[in-house]
Amino acid sequence: MLRAMMASCPCASGRPYDACCARYHAGEEPPDAETLMRSRYAAFVRGDHAYLFRTLHREHEDHAAGAEAYRVQLARAAKRTRYDGLRVLDHDGPDADGIARVLFHVTMRFEFRDASFAELSSFVFDGGWRYVGGITRRMAAAQAEGMRIATFVGR
């Protein structure tokens, strides 16, 4: 029990899960886009598909199919996925249109093969911060080291 309470949060904050993303998964709204992004990564690792659906912007393409279809889709992928780490690289905004962006790198395996990638995600505030979408590029952690949004977009 104590061990479980002290387990470090999957979002790589260095804090215990209970003092980090647990409160967002329990219903509290993250204060900014980066915190939301971290909490979504932690939800992927923990298989919290309801949270992932709840924090998806209603205009995201996966929203229309509904929570159950999304859960089934994520659960199917989760069986073949192993998450090995998150690194947040950069963030900006919100800009004049209310869009905040976070650039991050995820080390992961899909069907036992390296599938690590960098993603520039976009978020808007709509009752809480919500995930709108992202641009991803397959990339090793070493390649993403020190990368900024301007570099990622300019490539």
- What is the distance between the alpha carbons of residues 81 and 1, in angstroms, rounded to a whole number? 27
**CB of 39 vs Zn ion, minimal distance in Å:** 6
Give the Cβ contact number of residue 4 at 10 Å: 9
**CB of 30 vs Zn ion, minimal distance in Å:** 10
HSE at residue 86, side-chain half, CA atoms within 13 A, is: 24
**CB of 68 vs Zn ion, minimal distance in Å:** 26
List Cα–Cα distances, 32 to 17, 19, 23, 25, 82, in angstroms: 18, 17, 14, 15, 27
Find, among 153, 131, 127, 154, the residue nearest to 41 by Cα.
131
Interface residues with Zn ion (CB under 5 A)?
A: 9, 11, 13, 20-21, 42
**CB of 72 vs Zn ion, minimal distance in Å:** 26
Contact 11, 41 (CB under 8 A): yes
| First-residue to last-residue Cα distance in the chain | 47
**CB of 13 vs Zn ion, minimal distance in Å:** 5
